[in-house]
Structure 1
Amino acid sequence: MDENPLTEANLLWSGRELIHNRQWQMDLSLCAGGLEDYFSWIKKTLGVVGLALIKNVPFTALPETEAAQAFLNFGLNFGCPVSQSEKFDFLGRVTDRGSDIRNHTARGYESTAELPFHNDRCDLLALLCIRQAPIGGETRVVSAVAACQRLMATDPKLAQVLFEPVPFDLRDTKGDKCWGMMPVFSYSTGVFVARYVRRFIEASQRFEDAPRLTEHQIAAFDALDSILHEPDMAMDLRLEAGDLLLIDNHRLLHARSEFEDKAEAEAKRLLLRLWLCWTGSPELPAMLAPTYGRTGSGSFRSGVWPTTCPLSSFPSDLTQARQRVKDIILSSEYKKKISNYTTRTLKAE
């Protein structure tokens, strides 16, 4: 244990501080028991630091289909996975498939491009590294709480702009309105919440009825981006095979550096991804409902869903929803889908 452990101070850490304090990291190969024996440690660490890194998770020693199923089982036991696409994918494959992120409909995680700081449409992000790229591909994490505080100290007027609603492209959301208004920063029952994807904010401008971004709003985004890239703010992580990284998606932002991949499909960089609900999620402001669907603390919410099985068809109670999701994921039909998905994707790359 470090002599000066981090405390629950609203995640006001810098990357430089976190690098020198490794209480957020554990090596499973050096511990007695399995991953489930350390769930309480993971939950406590997420509450204090906003992330947890577990090294040498044994899933990666399995064939990819079995590793994917084991990772899904972890998600079911720790929280509850939500769908990540209209294809009803509870498991995402973060790997290069030639996507061009200049296209507003492209998936950034299916490219080799650098991805700027953002957060995903979930409460908790889980990444399992199967293979790392030979060059690049570092994961960057930063405390949105600390970035907000620094901006408030340097330019409180611009910081205030980020607490006011701005237009967001809702992307995969179905409905009469393809954009919504929500703040980048907000508080709900005293808990800080961030929702920042600048690419989605700027993409809202393709809709004629969306409000035009103002000079003050653009200046606020620029100021925030500048702070996020200050040398001491973020922490860079080069995930290795067997690393499991969990990130509080409401209080941290993450990014990825550009990478060069191997030519062979079976050797390409691959991270498996889960979007999770869990009991530690906060109540969200009502203005975030267009993105997360529900706002209650610890509820089953968020994700991207097919029109034939929307979020609203699942109970909001996390325990009840978990049982239904478990029935889906453990069904022979879904296991076959996972097997076909990994095999088909590998051949297509």
Structure 2
Amino acid sequence: MLEVEQRLAAVKEAGLSLVEIEPAHFRHPDLDDHLAGILEELMFGRGMVVLRGLPADRYSAEDMAMMYWGIGTHFGIAVSQSAMGDVLGHVQDLTKPGEEEDARGYTSARELRLHTDLAQVAGLFCYRPAARGGVSVIASALAMHNQIAAEHPEYLPIYYRGFPYHRRGEQAPEAEAVTPHAVPVFSTLKGNTSVFYVREILQNGAEERGVPLTDEEVAALDYFDACARDNSYRLRLGQGDALFMNNRTTLHARTKFENGDGPDGERHLMRLWLDVPGKRPDVPEIQVYENQGGRSGIDHQVGQVRAGAKYRTMKAAE
């Protein structure tokens, strides 16, 4: 990854901040073709790619954030990950004893169940791994669709119809707390099948509306969770590894983790949510938030904070 280090040096010499870095700043003949091939694999192939060998052992977190961001510009446009406007998320345990269940997943050490994120592509860069745990879990949504069609085709209409989702208090002031439309679990547009699934806030939506899920819907969701586990595999990210996933064709999770002693023993990953214009179209109903310009993610809301405990109604899957 010498080319990435060279581009970092040029960016720093130019005095650019992280969010000022554009694709042109990380162009290099040897880098461009390689990353273009990775983007094709992400969007139309396996839906996940791991880049190894980024020099996290030799650079500060700030420098690695710039390298990681620069690579991400080859794949898409970074979008905000919470109402706080964070376009580069830091996946760390920021909780105090007893607060683990109160935080959004990427600010805690708890286990996370299989889900998708709110943008087309999610990236996770491992600056420092956990002492124990923190293993990534990835499931193929397309393999799941095939299994469901073979074993329980009666559930497919439920998934394609979808469910209203709670916006966890991170919506714009004039927006409704729950999506006015059903967000499909599976959807198809121009021959591309996509997935969106976050069971916790799906159930929050039903509770907020006062419309309980039917027994058949609960059975369909339970089967979806089981099917996701059946079609998943585990991946441990080491220092300097960057995982990119297509959120429309894969789901991901994380096992609970424990940090080691001192700051150097604390797990620290960096997260990107990326929109990839013009590559793989989505149905408009897949969007949970009504963001400016139609982008994904969660628009910055001045004075807002990240969603917290009252929007978590379920324990992580065992």
| TM-score (norm. length: structure 1) | 0.71
* Match of residue 316 from structure 1: none
Residue 191 and residue 71 in structure 1: after superposition, are their counterparts in 2 closer, same or farther (change >3 A)? Answer: same
**Counterpart secondary structure, 2:113:** strand
Shift of 1:74: 2.2
In structure 1, give the amino acid aligned to 2:198. V
Map of 2:121 onto structure 1: 124
SS at match of 1:150: helix
Conservation of the 8 A alpha-carbon contact between 2:141 and 2:249: yes
The answer to whether structure 1 residue 40 and structure 2 residue 36 are counterparts is: yes
Instruction: Give the corresponding residue for 1:161.
Output: 158
Q: Does 1:135 align with 2:132?
A: yes
Moved over 3 A (4+): 32-37, 99-103, 289-294
Structure 1, 116-125 or 153-162: larger mean CA deviation: 153-162
Measured after TM superposition, the shift of residue 137 of structure 1 is 0.7
**Residues 169 and 204 in structure 1, CA contact (< 8 A), matched pair in contact too:** yes
Alpha-carbon shift at residue 169 of structure 1 (Å): 1.0
Q: Aligned to 1:152, what secondary structure does the other structure show? A: helix
Q: Give the 5 Å matches for 1:168-207.
A: 168-171=165-168, 172-174=170-172, 175-180=174-179, 181-207=182-208
Could you say which residue in structure 1 is the equivalent of 2:54? 57
Higher RCO structure (Cα 8 Å, ≥6 apart) = 2
| Correspondences of 1:59-138 after superposition (within 5 Å) | 61-98=58-95, 100=99, 102-103=101-102, 106-138=103-135
Change (3 A) 1:252 1:282: same
Equivalent AA in structure 1 for residue 140 of structure 2: S
1:24-59 deviations in Å (ceiling 9; x for gaps):
xxxxxxxx9864451122122212110111110235
Q: How does 1:1-349 map to 2 (within 5 A)?
A: 35-46=31-42, 47-58=44-55, 61-98=58-95, 100=99, 102-103=101-102, 106-171=103-168, 172-174=170-172, 175-180=174-179, 181-207=182-208, 209-230=209-230, 233-279=231-277, 281-291=279-289, 293=291, 301-307=295-301
How far apart, CA to CA, are the structure 2 residues paired with 1:120 and 1:60?
29
1:16 maps to what in 2? none
Identity %: 29
Aligned length: 269
1:182 partner SS: coil
Q: Secondary structure at the match of 1:245?
A: strand
RMSD: 2.4
> Could you tell me how far apart the structure 1 residues matched to 2:107 and 2:195 are?
24
SS at match of 1:229: helix
Per the TM alignment, residue 61 of structure 1 is displaced from its structure 2 partner at its CA by: 2.6
Query: Quick one: which amino acid aligns to residue 133 of structure 1?
Result: A
Confirm or deny: 8 A CA contact 1:98 1:110 kept in the other structure. yes
Give the counterpart letter for 1:41 in structure 2.
G
Bigger CA drift: 242-251 or 82-91? 82-91
Aligned to 1:25: none
- In 2, the alpha carbon distance for the partners of 1:101 and 1:280 equals 39
TM-score, L = length of structure 2:
0.78
